[in-house]
A and B are shown apart, each in its own frame.
Chain A
Amino acid sequence: MLDLELRVANEVAHMRTIRVALDRFGHEHQLPAEVLMSLQVAVDEVVSNVIKYAWTSGGTHEVLLRVGLRSDHVEVEIVDDGVPFDPRDPPPPRAVGLKAGGSPIGGRGLRLVHRLMDEVDYARLGNQNRLRLRKNIVKSVQGGVPS
């Protein structure tokens, strides 16, 4: 799996780089708009969480993003060497709103990832988090993804 590989430093400013690269990938492979949007939303959530929370002591680190197109799905792998974090079981939603304390979004970002993706898989290999997302490409009645 290697149609796109991108390495970015742990700065939020690089989220735009990822968005642009994913868009280009989507256009090159003529992904359905819904598939590309789902990938954009999920990757934005996962990578921004890595940038914000993976390295508690700060410093410059690298996030690796790999995207591959298969016959009926897109696979995304996100690798970092930050603190272990398994996103397979999102926390139960908390009350929304700043008055509820903590994150105003109440853990919903990760739930959104699970709703948008067909598979969310995780492994801790050595000192690395490896998160894998899978999004199926549902073919339309007219014959599916244009090629």
Chain B
Amino acid sequence: MSESDLTIDEMHAEEVCVVAVSGRIDSANAGDVKRRLTDLLASGEKALLVDMSNLLYLTSAGFRALLMATDEAEQRSAWFALCGMQATVRDLFEMGGLADVFTIFDSRREAVASRA
């Protein structure tokens, strides 16, 4: 497991704003994730996709941040989805009983194509 903390990068793929989270999301940095996602929604983004391809794990603080972003997206009538989970990350969603709570795609390509 690398020493890396968390990095958050954003880019646009067609009309979707892709937020790539790398490293780990835990109680020390989940607030940064929540803030970045809610700021993007507040700035008018109508489709947010969180790409977890390079995420090692997330703790319940991370789940909480994603749930709050989901709620914010719903209030703003925006689309919000997750993609690219590694098997270990997907296992955490399933263990937490949260796999059905989010819109989840296997890949970024599939997620963006679903908006076409």
Residue positions of A touching B, CB distance < 8 A: 12-13, 15-16, 19-20, 23, 26-27, 33-34, 36-37, 40-41, 44-45, 47-48, 93, 96-99, 103-105, 108-109, 111-112, 115-116
B104 within 8 A of A: no
- B residues near A, CB below 8 A? 1, 3, 5, 24, 26-29, 56-61, 63-64, 67-68, 70-71, 88, 92, 95-98, 101
The reply to whether A104 and B60 form a contact with Cβ atoms under 8 Å apart is no
Instruction: Enumerate the 6 nearest inter-chain pairs by beta-carbon distance, A residue then B residue, closest first.
Output: A109-B60, A48-B27, A15-B28, A44-B59, A16-B28, A115-B95
Contact of B60 among A19, A26, A40, A108 (CB under 8 A): A108
Q: State which of B27, B60, B68, B98 has its C-beta within 8 Å of the C-beta of A98.
A: B68
Instruction: Knowing A33-B1, A37-B88, A41-B59 are in contact, say whether A105-B67 is a contact too (CB < 8 A).
Output: yes
Interface of A, secondary structure class, is helix
A74 → chain B closest CB, angstroms: 14
Is A48's CB under 8 angstroms from B67's CB? no
**Contact: B61 with A44, CB < 8 Å?**
yes
